[in-house]
Amino acid sequence: MPREITTEQTYQLRGLIFQVRNELHMGWSEEVYHQALVKHLEANNIPAQSKPRYKLFHRNIEVHTFEADLIVWEAVILELKALP
């Protein structure tokens, strides 16, 4: 069952995302922003999995392997994007 996060956690996560963006500015690859966010999450003791892989099934048949950028608090899936 998915876990709900609090409003405080939402603000904390969004704050870290904006902090990374504001400090690094534009022009970097998604991987640079990804690694910076991972470091910020670790520094703030926020549990996160980086690039976990999950098998997706449809009618008990494996149809795809999904790799999320980040899963935070075992509840939030983050898919990071950066403009070239």
User: What is the pLDDT, as a whole number, of residue 3?
Assistant: 80
Cα separation, 51 vs 32, in Å, equals: 14
- Domain count for the chain: 1
In a domain, 11, yes or no: yes
Q: Which residues pair with 78 in a beta bridge?
A: 70
User: What is the pLDDT, as a whole number, of residue 84?
Assistant: 75
In a domain, 1, yes or no: no
In a domain, 2, yes or no: no
**Residue 1 confidence class, pLDDT cut points 50, 70, 90:** very low
Q: Tell me which residue range forms the domain holding 58.
A: 7-78
In a domain, 59, yes or no: yes
User: What is the pLDDT, as a whole number, of residue 83?
Assistant: 85
pTM for this predicted structure: 0.86
pLDDT digits (tens, 9 = 90+) for 14-64: 999 999 999 999 999 999 999 999 999 999 999 999 999 999 999 999 999
Cα separation, 80 vs 72, in Å, equals: 13
In a domain, 38, yes or no: yes
